[in-house]
Structure 1
Amino acid sequence: MEKNRSSRKDVKEKIFFLVGPTATGKSKVAIILAKKLKAEIVSCDSMQVYKGLDIVTSKPALADRRKISHHLIDVISPKEQYDVSRYRRNAMNAIGKILRKHKTPLFVGGTGLYMSVVIDGIFKHKSGNSRIRAKLYREASHKGSTQLFERLVRVDPEASARIHPHDLRRIVRALEVFEATGQPISKLQKQREGLAGKYEVACVCLDMEKPALYRRIEQRVDHMFKAGLVEEVKKLSRGALSKTASLALGIREVQGYLKGLYGLDEAKQLLKRNTRLYAKRQLTWFRKDKRIKWIKITAGDSAYGIAGKVIKLLRNICKKKRC
């Protein structure tokens, strides 16, 4: 069946995305989907690429990773920097490997930016200007990021709608591009080359009511501490963590406890709060992407039940696209 499908020139190869906020059970659902769809899983998580961040990032169980091939998990040292450009290169390599096996790439995770760069391509601005960048950072240090953000709203309202008013790095990046090229970054980003036209792409997001999601998050954090989160962070802290690896949720909260800044209970509460905030940001990102189809789930739904809903939705999407 796969061979016949691949040999038909009028049918594009499929790439699926299963995304959603943390603690919605994506990893368990993905294992079932991968078996049903003859797929291999590609992590779409900005932190699971790091070795040693096992409990911190709630990586899929080793037993599950032995059942189904997983890509882009445990690929680099936490001492190394990792960014979207490197992720996209790795992801495209993974797609090629999986398709050569006549299987389907199934991206699974909650990093919306990584999903976006895989589908839409990455914006390569070669006119980086360190002088302009330094000037903007100096301005921010003297006058605050709010003034820079207000300027971005004026020169590129489309970009400003996607950037948080306190995300200084992205604000500076957008203004740097505008000052260097005279064109809004939002306009230049539309010139990216992605998967559109080459593959049939379908994206499904798991959605859960906030009270149930927040209970799941609290349970997950409690489990992480019982599983040895403190010892894992202590071990990681003995070495030099890269800036990107150090941003993983759980590291700073536990490091504060290890430094004696607060007790263990407060560390747990901080991680629960910060994870809830992260889940809200994830949902905000995904809701802006109109290509995503949503599936409502409840805390009582089984992984098999959710997987069944996802497969039905994917079939409907593919039927409409004739893929």
Structure 2
Amino acid sequence: MLVITGPTASGKTRFAIEVAEAVDGEIVSADSMQVYRHLDIGTAKPTARERGRVPHHLVDVADPDEAFHAARFVSEADRAIADIAGRGRVPVVCGGTALYLKALLHGLAPAPGRDPEVRAELEARWDRGEREALRRELARVDPGAARRLHPNDRTRIVRALEVWRVTGRPISELHRAHRFGPVRYRALMVGLLTDRPDLYRRIDERVVSMVEAGWVEEVRQVLSMGYGPHLPPLRAIGYRQICAHVLERRPLDQAVAEIQQETRRFAKRQMTWFRRMPIRWVPADATAEVVTLWQEFCEEP
């Protein structure tokens, strides 16, 4: 299969559609936010017109209050890929969620199940404002994870501490042990290369465009449907700040500036992940080059 990835705002959707049209493919989204229904603008979800050009899979497959994680992604992506290939078409996996791509290509690292009591205690401490104490605890027991995780990444910090409490082993150690797992798919991985100043400009402009397109109204609508701001997709970058604007009357210009800043930082973290992957980097307008690379890849023994 063909994998198209790159940092946020690098133009993956447009690029993947053009390539999929050229190779007779269908797109499997590897974006951890585009799976959620009702969250369209802030996730840069492909439009109805774009989905009309090329079939898309794993878009709008979960409600905002449903649990969606890497294991579910792999299961549903496997089914979509088998269906696409079974009809003689090319699976084109497109997205920037590096964890999902790694899990799809190499499988999931073994990890213990959830412990509801431990998790509830850690989440309650975070919600009481003890996040700094939790980050210090993680730095003490698992410095590798503490360095890798963003200080505001509540979900993964709580999970890392939960694994430590349950097993006595750092989650980063479990991930290292799994690093050389067997490859599940033969894939050509292509990344869209954008220089940093241009990428940051694109990020800043896209945030403004999302607000102008009705992002605030979208969040109001989702909240009016009964979905609370505590849900994981509404705590993600962008939705968290827009929720604060809607519910706490935080000035919109401050929310926009923070979203831009956090998104730029997120793009930098994405590139750190991508450096560990066997990606062939190409310019964001090199669709013809990628089609040629794909044809050569298919001819390899």
Task: Pick the TM interval, shorter chain.
Answer: 0.7 to 0.9
TM-score, normalization by structure 2: 0.83
Among candidates 261, 265, 273, match of residue 261 of structure 2: 273
1:227-238 equivalences under 5 Å are: 227-238=213-224
Q: 1:118 to 1:226 in 2, by over 3 A?
A: same
- Render the CA deviation track for 1:259-282: whole Å, top value 9, x for unaligned: 353333223222222222222222
Aligned-CA RMSD value: 3.1
- Asked if the contact 1:56/1:249 (under 8 Å) is kept, the reply is no
**Which structure has the larger Rg?**
1
Q: What is the CA deviation profile of residues 279-303 of structure 1, one whole-angstrom value per residue up to 9, with x for unaligned ones?
A: 222222212x231222244xxxxxx
State whether residues 203 and 260 of structure 2, in contact with CA within 8 Å, keep that contact through their aligned partners in structure 1.
yes
1:34-183 matched pairs, under 5 angstroms: 34-126=20-112, 128-129=114-115, 141=130, 143-153=133-143, 162-164=148-150, 167=153, 169-170=155-156, 173-174=159-160, 176-177=162-163, 180-181=166-167
Query: What is the letter of the counterpart of residue 221 of structure 1?
Result: V
Whether the 8 Å CA contact 2:142–2:172 is kept in 1: the answer is no
User: What SS does the corresponding residue of 2:286 show, helix, strand or coil?
Assistant: helix
How many residue pairs end up in the alignment?
294
* Aligned counterparts, 1:301-316, within 5 A: 305-315=285-295
1:306, distance to aligned residue in structure 2 (A)? 2.1
Q: 1:273 & 1:69 partners in 2: Cα distance?
A: 33
Are the counterparts in 2 of residues 174 and 184 from structure 1 also a CA contact under 8 Å? yes
Q: Secondary structure at the match of 1:32?
A: helix
- Partner in structure 2 of residue 253 of structure 1: 241
Worse-matched range after superposition: 53-62 or 143-152: 143-152
Residues 144, 80 of structure 1: alpha-carbon distance in 2 compared, 3 angstrom cutoff: closer
Structure 1 gap ranges (5+): 1-14, 298-304
- TM-score where L is the length of structure 1: 0.78
When residues 125 and 191 of structure 1 are mapped into structure 2, their CA distance, relative to the original with a 3 A threshold, is same
CA contact (8 A) 1:122 1:192 kept: no
- Counterpart of 1:200 in 2: which secondary structure? coil
More displaced stretch, 41-50 vs 219-228: 219-228
Structure 1 residues 262 and 88: alpha-carbon distance in aligned structure 2, compared to 1, 3 A threshold: same
Distance in 2, Cα, partners of 1:218 & 1:50? 23
Unmatched segments (≥5 aa) in structure 2: none
Task: Pick closer, same or farther for the CA change 1:250–1:39 going to 2, 3 Å.
Answer: same
* Partner Cα separation in structure 2 for residue 61 and residue 137 of structure 1: 36
On the 8 A contact 1:129/1:176 being kept in 2, the answer is yes
Contact 1:117 1:194 in 2 (8 A): no
Return the alpha-carbon distance in structure 1 between the equivalents of residues 78 and 181 of structure 2. Answer: 10
One-letter code of the match for 2:136? T
